[in-house]
Chains A and B, each alone.
Chain A
């Protein structure tokens, strides 16, 4: 995982498999970075994610709530077809924004590149 701050946006690049075991670790690291920063939004780059199950969905909903409590948004970019399928099935699409590319996501949500 790689975390960067771009303006008001925390940009998190996820890698590999997001299952229950991985999600436990990710939520701690992401929350700590988010709380230390003055960011409002969280944008995930999903380009390097090779696997995800419902534990990943739970992790995103949890982070969505954190961002929302700061008046911010949560955006997922670069999802693979498999991850997209899960995203649509879960109803996440209703609360979490999706952008095709990370650049677009950052541009729309007020970060500077």
Chain B
């Protein structure tokens, strides 16, 4: 298991992608699987920073935990931010609470189409944990 704790800064999302890519690479994924995994992690970490913490990100952290069960790769992304009030609504394509920031409301749609499992657990004012899982299948 790998645990990465990063300050809630937009420039740290690139670091999260590198760590996620390096983690999945040792399972010999296809290039497509690697890209999908890294993109889904990028979506969740970005959301934690810009929605979870927003302007109050000073001194706050996002945690990325990577683990595996045979060839099922898991990434868990947690923040202690504002939480999501209506999870079902948040998952709807094109739903965004920040249209003024040119968000397109597609992060959850990307996570769901690139991963096999997307689990959201969130509580208002306490934070959000996203659990993503991808089954790599037989080694190529």
Q: Is the CB of B38 within 8 A of A61?
A: no
Q: Sort chain A's interface into a size bin.
A: 20 to 34
Question: Which residues in window 90-109 of B have CB below 8 A to A?
Answer: 101-104, 106-107, 109
Please state if B102 and A53 are interface contacts (CB–CB under 8 Å): no
Supposing A21-B14, A54-B106 touch, asked if A89 and B46 sit within 8 A by C-beta, the answer is no
Query: Which B residues lie at the A interface, using CB under 8 A?
Result: 10-11, 13-14, 17, 32, 35, 38-39, 42-43, 46, 49-50, 101-104, 106-107, 109-110, 113
Q: In whole angstroms, what is the CA distance A89 to B108 when docked?
A: 12
Contacts of B50 in A (CB 8 A): 20
**A89–B42 contact, CB under 8 A?**
no
On chain B, the residues within 8 Å of A59 by CB distance are 102
Q: Does A58 contact B (CB under 8 A)?
A: yes
CA gap between A86 and B110 in the complex, in Å:
8
Cβ-defined contact, B106 with A19, below 8 A = no
A57 interface contact, C-beta 8 A: yes
Whether the Cβ atoms of B102 and A89 lie closer than 8 Å is no
Give the contacting residue for B102; candidates A19, A58, A82, A90; CB below 8 A: A58
